[in-house]
Structure 1
Amino acid sequence: MTFDRRKFLKYSACASASVLVLSKLDVMAKANMKNIGLQLYSLREEFPKLGVEEIISRVAKAGYKFVEPYGYSKKDGFWGKSPKEFKALLNKYKLSTYSGHYDFNFLATTIKHDVLEDYISVAKTLGQKYLVVPHIDHKVFASEKNVKDFAEKLKVVSEIFGKAGIKLVYHNHDFEFKDLGGKTGYDILLKELKPSEMDFEIDLYWAVRAKQDVLKMFKDHPGRFTFWHIKDIRKSDKTKNTEIGNGTIDFGVFLQHAKQAGLKYPIVEQENFEIDPFESITRSVKYLEKI
């Protein structure tokens, strides 16, 4: 996502700064929220019922422009389709994929170079420029030493990916924000890995639920948060999700700081539903297009 800074300065200089700055930010957010993706994990329970092609066709029909797949295995590919077949399916429904969630749990103990090379091959087939660490064993974030050891492994992976033209990305839950003597594991990763080595996919639901000051993170680490996972907190139960705009998170506030954060790829994700999943993801994308 990019903001037109020259126009911003021109408008803000023309009249009352407080009114026009907010107005302009709102316009810019709208202009940049046209390329919205869906994390396919949202529909994990639908794949066995409907099959991968029906899922992809409905995602495209809902208004999404790209998807973030998950669950790849060398044996089964993506829901029984090889990377080449999956790419052809995305092309058929005019969907792109810029990133994917891959299993990096082995990094809790070691580095598997053969697995990394396989992931690179898959990413190149799909046209993905980013590979995301979606989850890691909680014990990695149990102490500062553990996190720093993990960071060293991430640096090795980053170097391998970088030579292939791929960027490493880290996705959070809430356990990364456990206090480790005045700092969190997430703080340590942001410090230990340079912007050239790793980007971050901030899951706003988990960050807010962990009571983090997200705007301060954007200010302290500008440009690091290339990807956002956008999902809302259900009003009746903070452990559950709801459609974006139907919960307790004011995403408009975050979007005013999208440029500072470095946002390029906004991604809807929802882990549980109160209504039909396809109606739900449709409401979420439409809401984001409007706010």
Structure 2
Amino acid sequence: MTNRRTFLAQAGLAAAGMVIAPNLVSAKSPNGIGLQLYSLRDQLPKDPKGVLAKIAKAGYKEVETFGYSKAGGFWGLSAKEFSTVLKANGLKTPSGHYGLDQFFGTGKMDEFNSYIESALATGQSYIIVPSLNHDFIKTKADFMTIAGKLNKAAEVLKTHGLKLGYHNHNFEWKATEGTTFYDTILNHTDPKLVNMEMDLYWVVRAGQNPVEIFKKHPGRFKFVHIKDMDKGNNELNTEIGTGGLDFKTILGQAKLAGIQHYIVEQENFTNIDPYKSIAQSAAYLKTKLYL
């Protein structure tokens, strides 16, 4: 998978005001809190089994994968072996991040088919596009082309009983010929086929208001990435509840958004052990937001 840190862009911190009062009852997670494994990308290659055990101990019920390859599997574990380790720790994986640049660029299905095999072997329901080559989306016409290919990919997945998702950063809001890539894929992909995974940190960093997006496109956001923003440096993440994002207001609109899976992600850790960090975030979500 393309390293998402290469897509960092300098965007404003200010988000539009949020005026809808939170309703935390609607935010209750039906599946338990999840963790995007990218958070522990430095630890996983050394001891994937041990890391998964620690994730479960930290209070998580789900994990979202990344970085799968047919040759290497998940850090040396085949998809089937990986699934066995998850089950041994009481974990499930509803979704995985799988880069579809080969499919978008050439239409070839080699990698895509391997991802489908991985998803089926691990019990995942969603293949989520984590990002894409920026050369594919330089113009308004390019936006429409990718929207069409997202629909096509979703149709392929449907034949296997799987669904497609798209995960945002902040580059999706770059104004181009009177529109943005994010608006294009929301408006020109089939809502029944293409689901959205909203990364709340990146939405706010782009100067956008998550609640207003929920209102315009209710029910489209089956997943959210819960990632907090350091108050002193908006380029850094921090433990959930200690940063600048108003999760009570945003997640109070879970029913409107259609959220079914709450996935914690932290891309960097400052002066704290990563395992303590993810446990602290999980505890906050459970005790303060009642997820």
Tell me which residue corresponds to 1:270.
266
Residues 21-60 of structure 1: matches in 2 within 5 Å? 25-29=23-27, 31-32=28-29, 35-49=32-46, 51-60=47-56
- Asked if residue 130 in structure 1 is aligned to residue 156 in structure 2, the reply is no
Structure 2 gaps, min length 5:
1-19
CA separation in 2, counterparts of 1:63 and 1:57?
A: 10
Look up the equivalent residue of 1:266 and give its one-letter code. Answer: Y
The answer to whether the 8 Å contact 2:221/2:258 transfers is yes
- Asked if residue 239 in structure 1 is aligned to residue 235 in structure 2, the reply is yes
Pick closer, same or farther for the CA change 1:34–1:246 going to 2, 3 Å: farther
Look up the equivalent residue of 1:26 and give its one-letter code. Answer: L
- Asked if residue 284 in structure 1 is aligned to residue 268 in structure 2, the reply is no
CA separation in 2, counterparts of 1:112 and 1:57?
A: 36
Tell me which residue corresponds to 2:108.
112
Structure 1 gaps, min length 5:
1-20
Give the TM-score normalised by structure 2: 0.88
Match of 1:170 among 151, 166, 170: 166
Indicate the structure (1 or 2) with the bigger Cα radius of gyration: 1
More relative contact order, 1 or 2 (CA 8 Å, 6+ apart):
2
Tell me which residue corresponds to 1:92.
88
Provide Cα deviations, 1:178-218, integer angstroms capped at 9, x if missing partner: 01233211000001101112000010001100001211110
Tell me which residue corresponds to 1:225.
221
- Asked if residue 179 in structure 1 is aligned to residue 146 in structure 2, the reply is no
Comparing 212-221 and 81-90, the one that deviates more: 212-221
Provide Cα deviations, 1:22-72, integer angstroms capped at 9, x if missing partner: 68x23343x4376110000000011244x0011000000000001001100
CA separation in 2, counterparts of 1:214 and 1:135?
A: 19
Secondary structure of the residue aligned to 2:117 is helix
CA separation in 1, counterparts of 2:29 and 2:239?
A: 20
Look up the equivalent residue of 1:187 and give its one-letter code. Answer: D
Give the TM-score normalised by structure 1: 0.88
The answer to whether the 8 Å contact 2:131/2:167 transfers is yes
- Asked if residue 61 in structure 1 is aligned to residue 57 in structure 2, the reply is yes
Tell me which residue corresponds to 2:207.
211
Number of equivalenced pairs: 268
Tell me which residue corresponds to 1:145.
141
Match of 1:200 among 196, 208, 219: 196
Tell me which residue corresponds to 1:78.
74
CA separation in 2, counterparts of 1:197 and 1:27?
A: 28
The answer to whether the 8 Å contact 1:33/1:288 transfers is no
Look up the equivalent residue of 1:190 and give its one-letter code. Answer: L
Tell me which residue corresponds to 2:98.
102
The answer to whether the 8 Å contact 1:107/1:150 transfers is no
Q: Which has the larger helix fraction?
A: 1
